[in-house]
A = this chain, B = another copy of it.
Amino acid sequence: MNENKRTAMGDKPDVFNLSCPLPLRDHATVQLAHGGGGRFMRELIEGMFLPAFADGRPKDPPHDSAVVEIGGARLAFTTDTFVVRPLFFPGGDIGKLAVYGTVNDLAMSGARPLYLSAAFVLEEGLPMETLRRVVESMRTAAREVGVQIITGDTKVVDRGKGDGIFVNTAGIGLAPPGIEISPRRVAVGDAVLVSGDLGRHGMAVMSVREGLGFQSALESDCASLAGLVEAMLAGGGDLHCLRDLTRGGLAAALNEIAMDSRVGIELEEAAIPVSEAVASACELLGLDPLYVANEGRLVAFAPAGEAERLLQIMRSHVAAPGAAIVGRVTAEHSGTVELRGRLGGNRIVDLLSGEQMPRIC
């Protein structure tokens, strides 16, 4: 428990509790928000999974993939299950997500993604043609990224005990020696960059799910970030940390890093790229684009002096033409994310307690 954080924000003590392992609050049952990327999920991880699997807090802060040394090789290892509804949405589908999502988690450690597993939970009665489309999409995505799906599993559950298709992919990548990209390296003074405009994936999924009329303008940003990371690493600068922005959006990613790295993060609202289509859709639905899911965007931390050069590398890559420097790491307000508004005035960007959009990935 970090007392100075509690002191700094005495009126909101709960938020700050989250940086140390805590007993779960009084949730007798699992709620949708426990899978939402916000505060409840963090509580579940810190209160249940880490104590059981990592004997409390692990040596290193949790990251998108774990890096371990095996037989002389430095490997990144990660897993992700995809339960998105609907299975097909503008700009992507569950198969594409399942390949890119795990590839991206590997890339966030600087690793070159190599091999994936694919495990399906199918609901009895699923049209075989739907499965075929998903499998074809996975094949295409895997080829494009240059990873191989080499092992798999299929389970079928009774009608009404699943939801069409759930796909789990786990992945192995080769992490280059001497490169450490981790929340642990985030340092005061670092610049914070995003690789493009935010919120497309979440709003594209919402648009079809809710039958809203703005589909045409909105496509998911669903894409591999492996090539972009490779280009960023090849640039030779000192990347401190990367994280892909999925559930909970930029807000969740930055809050996690602020808490795990024990730093403050200050964002400039005016610098954060959000497309007009996403902004309008968010306004219509009362959502905040900072919390909306992405599936092809990352946030990067690098020394301020290297930020401009890194930005140019990112902008010249096909996956990040809209990259921007959006903030910086501060010593103040450790564990929190602050947004400096367009019109002046700061506000805290909290982890959400509730669930803005369930089943988004």
Q: B-contacting residues of A (Cβ < 8 Å)?
A: 24, 27-36, 41, 44-45, 48-49, 52-54, 65-66, 68, 70-75, 77-83, 114-115, 117-129, 131-132, 135-136, 138-139, 142, 148-158, 160-163, 166, 168, 170, 172, 174, 358-359
Q: Which residue of the partner chain B has the closest CB to A171? A: B170
Docked Cα-Cα span, A118 to B170, in Å, equals: 10
Given contacts A79-B151, A80-B119, 13 further A-B contacts (CB under 8 A): A30-B122, A32-B124, A32-B158, A48-B135, A52-B136, A53-B118, A53-B150, A70-B174, A71-B174, A75-B172, A77-B151, A81-B119, A157-B166
- Least CB distance from A221 to B in Å reads 20
Docked Cα-Cα span, A154 to B355, in Å, equals: 14
Docked Cα-Cα span, A5 to B172, in Å, equals: 39
Question: Is A77 within 8 A of B166, CB to CB?
Answer: no
A358 contact from B27, B156, B170, Cβ within 8 A: B156
Question: Is A28 within 8 A of B83, CB to CB?
Answer: no
Question: Is B158 within 8 A of A359, CB to CB?
Answer: yes
Docked Cα-Cα span, A183 to B135, in Å, equals: 26
Question: Is A31 within 8 A of B77, CB to CB?
Answer: no
Question: Is B151 within 8 A of A34, CB to CB?
Answer: no
Question: Is A117 within 8 A of B52, CB to CB?
Answer: no
B contact residues around A359 at 8 Å (CB): 155, 157-158
B contact residues around A157 at 8 Å (CB): 35, 83, 163, 166, 359
Question: Is B117 within 8 A of A79, CB to CB?
Answer: yes
Docked Cα-Cα span, A149 to B68, in Å, equals: 12
Docked Cα-Cα span, A154 to B82, in Å, equals: 10
B contact residues around A45 at 8 Å (CB): 152, 154
B contact residues around A154 at 8 Å (CB): 34-35, 41, 44-45, 49
Q: Which residue of the partner chain B has the closest CB to A120? A: B81
Docked Cα-Cα span, A36 to B157, in Å, equals: 10
Question: Is B35 within 8 A of A155, CB to CB?
Answer: yes
**Given A125-B30, A155-B35, A168-B79 in contact, is the A71-B68 Cβ separation under 8 Å?**
no
B contact residues around A135 at 8 Å (CB): 48-49, 52-53
Question: Is A77 within 8 A of B124, CB to CB?
Answer: no
Q: Which residue of the partner chain B has the closest CB to A137? A: B52
Question: Is B153 within 8 A of A79, CB to CB?
Answer: yes
B contact residues around A162 at 8 Å (CB): 161-163
B contact residues around A77 at 8 Å (CB): 115, 117, 150-151, 172
Docked Cα-Cα span, A65 to B119, in Å, equals: 13
Docked Cα-Cα span, A8 to B29, in Å, equals: 58
- Least CB distance from A133 to B in Å reads 11
Question: Is A155 within 8 A of B81, CB to CB?
Answer: yes
**Given A70-B75, A124-B30, A139-B53 in contact, is the A80-B170 Cβ separation under 8 Å?**
no
Docked Cα-Cα span, A310 to B150, in Å, equals: 31
Question: Is B150 within 8 A of A66, CB to CB?
Answer: yes
B contact residues around A53 at 8 Å (CB): 118, 135, 138-139, 142, 148-150, 152
B contact residues around A158 at 8 Å (CB): 32, 163, 358-359
**Given A35-B155, A68-B150, A161-B163 in contact, is the A168-B119 Cβ separation under 8 Å?**
yes
Docked Cα-Cα span, A122 to B163, in Å, equals: 12
